[in-house]
Structure 1
Amino acid sequence: MGLVMSFTRVTPEELERAVADPVWAGKLMDFLGALDSPDQPDGYLDKSWDGLQYLLDKAGVSVGLQEDGIPINEDNTFAGWRADAVKRASELLKATPFEDLAGYFDPTEMTEREVYPSFWDADDLEYLRGSYETLVEFFKVTAASKSGAIRSFG
């Protein structure tokens, strides 16, 4: 399967409880993952997370998909993003059209640097575009509702 990343919108209260109780956080994420709710914005990035991070870093956009957030558990499977962090990320992402990031797409360099999943070709730009659109929309909707988020990684 490989390493995938996703973001899930949570209430500020759910986030605080998740940070305080990592076991409960896992149960919450299982519960929310099992729901098929049209109210829950899609934050699934699949394996594009490192490619997106590469583009964001190259463009100087200070959103750390893996590094930002509050660690919830020791293995960094979950990290919490409070509403203020979600809002900040939303503003930065909205201000950065994908076309600005696309200019940094270099499949050869990304492969040489072993940007996960470690092999890139020219066709992957559209994969990254779709994932970026998902990411921007997730943060926009989540920020508008003044919610927090939990980043799942693994």
Structure 2
Amino acid sequence: MSMNGEYLRVTPAELDRALKDPAWALDLAEEIQDAQEESEPAPSEALHFTTHKTWHLLEFLLQRSAFPVGIVHGEEPLTTDDWGYGPPRYVAPDRVQLAADILQQTTYDQLIQDVDPSELTKAEIYPQIWDSPASMEWARDLFTPLTEFFRGAASTGHAVLIWLD
């Protein structure tokens, strides 16, 4: 079993409902995940996105760069209910916009610049595969789609629910 970073775009009205009824939000997340498995929309159009197991590496790299928005675990609690590996959190629409703006200006090369893989091993970054500089390339293919996902959410004024599953 693995830990995957999960993201769900929601309208402000859906966020309000999710805050009042977290079980409804979980049902919505599962319904959208199932629907998207067949359609596979572009990240900028997707309502659901996953960073798979790269979430911890991305968190490390973003924290190291002093990224101002919590886009790996979210910023505000949605509920105390466990959605897999802990409760979900969310990023409000204005913070989604800020994240999208900064992500648009950030490259993966900037994030990994001067990072020694031994730092990742020492920090116990999940999963523990940090045996060479090439291992840091692992998350490159998900960073651009994550940027596109946030850009799409920001363009429609959506909030983003975030959890580990």
Length-normalised TM-score, structure 1 = 0.89
The runs of 5 or more residues in structure 1 that have no matched partner are none
Quickly say closer, same or farther: Cα 1:126–1:66, change in 2 above 3 A: closer
| 1:129-148 pair list within 5 angstroms | 129-148=140-159
1:52-77 Cα distance to aligned partner (Å, 9 max, x none): 11111112222323443321221443
The runs of 5 or more residues in structure 2 that have no matched partner are none
Backbone CA RMSD of aligned residues = 1.8
Quickly say closer, same or farther: Cα 1:41–1:20, change in 2 above 3 A: closer
Aligned to 1:118: 128
Quickly say closer, same or farther: Cα 1:120–1:108, change in 2 above 3 A: same
Equivalent position SS for 1:45: strand
| Range that drifts further, 71-80 or 129-138 | 71-80
Paired residue type of 1:22 = P
Residues 71, 99 of structure 2: 8 Å contact kept: no
2 CA distance for matches of 1:70 and 1:58? 21
1 CA distance for matches of 2:14 and 2:29? 10
Residues 10, 47 of structure 2: 8 Å contact kept: no
Following superposition, which runs of at least 4 residues in structure 1 exceed 4 angstroms of deviation?
A: none
1:73-119 Cα distance to aligned partner (Å, 9 max, x none): 21443212221111111112112121211204321110121011133
Paired residue type of 2:17 = R
1 CA distance for matches of 2:68 and 2:95? 11
1:5-24 Cα distance to aligned partner (Å, 9 max, x none): 12111111111111111111
Aligned to 1:62: 68
| Range that drifts further, 16-25 or 31-40 | 31-40
Aligned to 1:46: 52
Paired residue type of 1:149 = V
Aligned to 1:93: 103
**1:47, distance to aligned residue in structure 2 (A):** 0.8
Equivalent position SS for 1:44: strand
